[in-house]
Structure 1
Amino acid sequence: MALSRILIVEDTPFPRAILQRQLQQMGYEVIAAADGTEAWEILQTETINFVITDWLMPNMNGLELCRRIRQHDFPRYIYIILLTAKGDKNDLIAGLEAGADDFMVKPCNPLELKVKVLAGDRVLKYEKTLVDQHRKLERAHQQISDQLETTASNLRLAAKFQKALLPTESATIDDIRFESMFVPCEVVAGDFFNFFKLNEERTAFFLLDVAGHGIPAAMLSFTLSHVISPDPFQMQGVVMGHTTYGYLDFTNPMALAGRLNQIFEVRSDGQQYFTMVYGIIDKAMEEVHFTQAGHPPIIYLPHDAPPKLVGDGGFPMGVFPDTEFEVYSFPFRAGDRLFVYSDGVTTCFNPKNEPFSTERFMRILDKHRKAPLREGLLVTKKELHEWRLSDQFEDDLSVLAIERAPREDDRDGPRAVDLAELD
């Protein structure tokens, strides 16, 4: 399909009329201008992308018109054929440098004119195709950018909701102090932890770590957070003496772990699973009872003895349907501390591919045993950043720190703890 309009610029009436007639016979609509100034005014108001202009004209010659067209930011490409009586190579070079696409020597041969115009027509059609494709790509890119921004916005909102589900960083239930650290490696995380009061003597806590990262891990973590963390209204039955809510017995770590494993094993494809520690602090017995499902051991820090690891791993949740979970116990008396954490802490690798290690973590906690509970977590976070040499981590980092408040008569002196009870 031919172009609809061509602007011809010729100061001599007769050659202008001949050129206009030839182009009209080829099927083009032709607009004529007597010089470059008139042509420039037309280009400001008319949609034209093909110009045939004489070189020598008053007011504004063809060379200057070419330069002005190329310097102006038109929304379309304008193809220019420069008519000249000159045949000198230097003149042709000057025309090309000014922005002309092609040349014709006057007087115009009708056959040559047709060939030159058709060639320019093909160039403009190709250019239009490229422009259309570019615009399609821009629209597609914008759509993708909008979708990415929507996704990012939704992820930020999901992260906000996820963080809102977590307990406050510092909390106290009776004489038990809780502090926490939560550093997702992506916008949303697969780690989750919580604690809640079962009755006047017992308080439950847990920390879980869903395998993988990002949205899939976060979705399972979100589901688990609702299953394992009943709200206060749901917990009224437990406080009043009933031991179960729904299908979970929150007062029995082993039974709870077994039931969770059954529930999520039938929904798992073997690729998505989670590890967990679920424990109960019994104030009357001054003990902690917990079950461990493929999770790192608890770090137990008596107030007057070195830290010790409790628990030996076990199988993760959602892998084997008939897994039996053990219950571990250790004393938890006034001034004692315990730390539950995800393996993202201890397996955090530095640029030399060396893990942060459980031993290094325990040394930090031991060194700051006399400081407030939060200080040990803040130092740990700082040490992890320095170890990693980056603010970005490969895995989610979570730590739940728990301290039994010292008794008034124990604040000034050490108290012996029989670590043999842990063996």
Structure 2
Amino acid sequence: MAVQPDQLTNTPRLTGAVRRVLVVDDSRLQLKLVGGTLTRWGFEVTTAESGPEALAICATDPPDLVLSDWMMPGMSGLELCRRFRELDLGSYGYFILVTSKSEKGEVAEGLDAGADDFLTKPVSNDELRARITAGERILSMQRQLSEKNRDLSHALEELRAAHEAIDNDLRQARTIQQSLVPERVCEVGTSRVSLLLQPCGHVGGDLVGMFRPGFDRLGLYSIDVSGHGITSAMVTARVAGYLSSTFPEQNIALQRRYTGFYAMRDPAETALLLNQRLAADPGVEEYLTMAYVAADLTTGRMRLVQAGHSPAMLLRANGEIELIGDGGLPVGLVDEVSYDTHAFRMKSGDMLLLYSDGFTEAVMDNGKMLGEEGLARIFRESAEGGSGPDLMEDMFWRLTMQMADKNSLSDDVSAALLEFDVLSQD
């Protein structure tokens, strides 16, 4: 390469992105002239008289910038550029080809080989300095981008680790929440209770359960806490303690008598007490809907409170469907509230379903919600071919097969089923 020795003054570099420069030329004179100029400008200069020598230097001590003559015996500057780009250097190196070629075809060939810039012989110091300065700007931006990418990769790795920790916590929370419903099926005398709980995420705001204060008495409930996720799941855990099947003395639906006997409170009174408990909890903004039944399994007498929840669905043994309940306010929504108790009787072979709106508000293939009529149809069809937990699983399967999105629940789905005096018929 031929460099005109017209200006040999020191010129400060703009960014310092280029520190090490490799000059490649088969002419020792040109190496001495160019190398001396670059050294006076403050660069660390290494020289090579051939392409293979240059590649060996790049592999052991990668330069920031390579200034290579195009026409050299053996390996040309063009081939050197191609081989240089194949090296795994860990950072980007700027490559300038010095040539007497100025035709567009040669320039395109050099760009295709990976060259960043060109200098045409004879090269003036002003032009050389300008091209190096342009390379410094590009390398500076590239290294800033690489640094930001490293920071982003580090942040993503930290985020991945945090997400994995959260995911592990949620899986454990799901296990804990599932433990709130330890029995999914239970035979009580000649009747049977089956429970279904399918959260739309790791944890959910639905809760179904039962408790048995005596051999012929049963408390059965379906609860839906507002919202989804961890906060709702924590509320369900607290409510599960208020309706404990293990510790009757903590169950607000039960009242201890002097004889040690636990009597069942009126369901309306139970809902009122639960509302007072939630209202008294500081910082709890969630509310819940509830359908709760106090059942006498000897007489079939049922007492139901419906606190903003879906109405209970009673499937008679003859196939008729009745909806029980007239609404009511959710629990924990307002301080001053009253509830009504609905009394009805079940006969042998009747089935009572308490369910969340995850059933009725599920969107079907036709774009409409399932609704109570659709649920009644599914309930009746499933009851014709099964009973107990099989019936519940069949209902859930029929629901998902008709949903617009068959692979994802948009809301928690839960239900509690009481089959009255069915075991006496077996």
Contact 2:174 2:202 in 1 (8 A): yes
Contact 2:355 2:414 in 1 (8 A): yes
User: Which secondary structure does the structure 2 equivalent of 1:208 belong to?
Assistant: strand
Contact 1:303 1:369 in 2 (8 A): no
Report how far residue 209 of structure 1 moved: 0.7
| Cα distance in structure 2, aligned partners of 1:158 and 1:326 | 35
- CA displacement, residues 164-189 of structure 1 (integer Å, 9 cap, x when unaligned): 22133222233331112222222211
Taking a change above 3 Å as real, the CA distance of residues 353 and 319 of structure 1, as seen in their structure-2 partners, is same
Taking a change above 3 Å as real, the CA distance of residues 86 and 377 of structure 1, as seen in their structure-2 partners, is closer
Report the equivalent of 1:400. 416
Residue 358 of structure 1, aligned match among 372, 379, 400: 372
Taking a change above 3 Å as real, the CA distance of residues 194 and 55 of structure 1, as seen in their structure-2 partners, is same
Report the equivalent of 1:119. 134
User: Which secondary structure does the structure 2 equivalent of 1:81 belong to?
Assistant: strand
Two-structure CA RMSD over aligned residues (Å): 2.7
| Cα distance in structure 1, aligned partners of 2:176 and 2:271 | 26
Answer with 213-222 or 260-269: which moved more: 260-269
Report the equivalent of 1:296. 310
Taking a change above 3 Å as real, the CA distance of residues 204 and 240 of structure 1, as seen in their structure-2 partners, is farther
Q: Tell me the TM-score normalised to structure 2 length.
A: 0.86
Report the equivalent of 1:102. 117
Question: Is the counterpart of residue 10 in structure 1 residue 12 in structure 2?
Answer: no
Residue 59 of structure 1, aligned match among 74, 77, 92: 74
Taking a change above 3 Å as real, the CA distance of residues 46 and 243 of structure 1, as seen in their structure-2 partners, is farther
**Count of equivalent residues:** 406
Residue 338 of structure 2, aligned match among 324, 341, 344: 324
Kindly provide the amino acid, as one letter, of the partner of residue 244 in structure 2: S
Report the equivalent of 1:138. 153
Report how far residue 10 of structure 1 moved: 1.4
| Cα distance in structure 2, aligned partners of 1:370 and 1:40 | 78
Report the equivalent of 1:272. 286
Report the equivalent of 1:158. 173
Taking a change above 3 Å as real, the CA distance of residues 398 and 48 of structure 1, as seen in their structure-2 partners, is same
Kindly provide the amino acid, as one letter, of the partner of residue 411 in structure 2: D
Report how far residue 270 of structure 1 moved: 9.7
| Cα distance in structure 2, aligned partners of 1:254 and 1:365 | 27
Report the equivalent of 2:6. none
Report the equivalent of 2:191. 176
Report how far residue 19 of structure 1 moved: 1.1
Taking a change above 3 Å as real, the CA distance of residues 126 and 354 of structure 1, as seen in their structure-2 partners, is closer
- Where does structure 2 lack aligned partners over 5 or more consecutive residues? 1-14
Report how far residue 259 of structure 1 moved: 1.0
Residue 296 of structure 2, aligned match among 282, 287, 298: 282
User: Which secondary structure does the structure 1 equivalent of 2:123 belong to?
Assistant: coil
User: Which secondary structure does the structure 1 equivalent of 2:202 belong to?
Assistant: coil
Report how far residue 274 of structure 1 moved: 0.6
Percent identity between matched residues is 30
- Where does structure 1 lack aligned partners over 5 or more consecutive residues? 413-423
Taking a change above 3 Å as real, the CA distance of residues 9 and 371 of structure 1, as seen in their structure-2 partners, is closer
User: Which secondary structure does the structure 2 equivalent of 1:314 belong to?
Assistant: coil
User: Which secondary structure does the structure 1 equivalent of 2:197 belong to?
Assistant: strand
Kindly provide the amino acid, as one letter, of the partner of residue 165 in structure 2: T
- CA displacement, residues 48-80 of structure 1 (integer Å, 9 cap, x when unaligned): 121011122233221110111223343211111
- CA displacement, residues 1-35 of structure 1 (integer Å, 9 cap, x when unaligned): 43221111112212111111100000001111111
Contact 1:268 1:318 in 2 (8 A): no
Report how far residue 309 of structure 1 moved: 1.8
Kindly provide the amino acid, as one letter, of the partner of residue 175 in structure 1: T
Contact 1:189 1:213 in 2 (8 A): yes
User: Which secondary structure does the structure 2 equivalent of 1:207 belong to?
Assistant: strand
Contact 1:293 1:314 in 2 (8 A): yes
| Cα distance in structure 2, aligned partners of 1:387 and 1:165 | 29
